Amino acid sequence: MSRWSALLVMVSALLIAGSAHAQVAKGLLDPNVATEQELSALPHMTPAIAKALIGKRPFLNALELDAFLASQSLTPEQRAEFYRRAFVHINLNTASAEEIQLIPGAGRRMAREFAEYRPWKAFAQFDKEIGKYVDKTEVERLKQYTFIPLDPNTASDADFMTIPGVGNRMVREFKEYRPWKTQQQFEKEIGKYVNQREVARLWRYMQLP
């Protein structure tokens, strides 16, 4: 490898490492933490549906949310309109093709591409690989539906704060019990502060090495 090629590889690696923050993408409202007022302003949300949604949450994946909205008689087209504004983020490393295809405009092709480049480690990698197929604007639009799991033992405060609904208090608890060794430990310790469904919602954003 030439000196110039080696330099390019090193710079690329540094860019990817530097983009490891903000592992939960921003841009969409999360139905699990949105207020009733915010939900009511979304497409096809009546006050009754918004209230029922709050009573059912947290939804642990996009399929659970989709099933709920279908039970409220929203058609696939209406649900797609809702998802242009609000969504339960999908895990880029584990989401099924069915989950990925809930993203408006993603389709089977993008479901294949999301799976092809696993494991995803940083959004710079996503920008590069998905950018082979769509323009930058579309890359950013697709990205906002996703997350890359955080390592709870090394994540920064800024990383944790990208998780919808997480504030300073929960960041302190995440850090207090380090080192995390198992999911069961997380469920026990964080379960002191929130109920088990909420523990499960938080854990879905985590991954131990």
pLDDT (tens digit per residue) in 20-65: 455 999 999 999 999 999 999 999 999 999 999 999 999 999 999 9
Q: What percentage of the chain carries pLDDT values higher than 90? A: 89
pLDDT at 99: 98
**Total number of residues shown for the chain:** 209
Indicate the average pLDDT of the chain. Answer: 92
Q: What percentage of the chain carries pLDDT values higher than 70? A: 89
The domains of the chain are located at 157-203
For residues 122 and 148, what is the distance between their CA atoms, to the nearest angstrom?
A: 7
pLDDT (tens digit per residue) in 153-175: 999 999 999 999 999 999 999 99
pLDDT at 106: 97
